[in-house]
Amino acid sequence: MIHETAIIYPGVELGENCFIGEYVVIGYPPRGRRPGELKTTIGKNAVIRPFTIIYAGTVIGDNFQTGKGASIREDNIIGDDVVVGTHSVLEHGNRIGNRVRIHSQCFLELATIEDDVFIGPGVIFTDDPHPPCPRYKECVGGVTVRRLAKIGGGVLVLPGVTIGEGALVGGGSVVTRDVPPFSVVYGNPARVRKRIDELECFRGFYRRVYEWQE
């Protein structure tokens, strides 16, 4: 279903069984590009909620979902089963794996996000160490988040930082340096506090936290 108020530009390929809500724009040409010049692909079973805008030059897999008012710029490559929450902004150059959850009001640019990553609401990934440097693309670059990592709400991650596989970043942290795999970090600046396998399920549902991923 494509709502009558949605705008689908030339060069857009939609898979089967997609829901495109009110006032959605897909295939919007970036500055300096003509309508239809860049191809835009969205896989099957997408749910694109009202007021979302997806620029031309983006490739998105199957079962994609957005909240209301998400903004996805050009040159994003997004895998299958990804959710981008309400009013989140994906600037150009992100590479996002499969089964990634990006909650509401997040900001990503030039980030690499591997499979099965959870990103809480209000997370900001930065990419320019000395803004507004005219040569920032040649400098440190964006954040890398390895598979199975979890990032709590309101976290700020500085340019070039890598968050290791399976790590957990506590809410409100400022991450200024690389996070080791399977570690728990929090604070400003974030520091290693313990390992994932030391966390306990306080309700007693599991022997330990994230046991279900083993």
Q: What is the pTM of this model?
A: 0.93
Please confirm, yes or no, whether 130 is among the known catalytic residues: yes
Residue pair 88/67 in contact (Cβ under 8 Å)? The answer is yes
Reported as a single tens digit per residue, the pLDDT across 160-194 is 999 999 999 999 999 999 999 999 999 999 999 99
| Separation of alpha carbons 152 and 169, rounded Å | 6
Q: What is the pLDDT of residues 87-113, one digit of tens each?
A: 999 999 999 999 999 999 999 999 999
SS3 212: helix
Q: Which fold has domain 7-213?
A: UDP N-Acetylglucosamine Acyltransferase; domain 1 (2.160.10)
pLDDT tens digits, one per residue of 145-162:
999 999 999 999 999 999
Omega before 29 cis (within 30°)?
Answer: no
3, 92, 103, 130: the catalytic one is 130
Q: What is the residue type of 210?
A: Y
Contact 101, 84 (CB under 8 A): no
**The tokens of 149 are what?**
């990592």
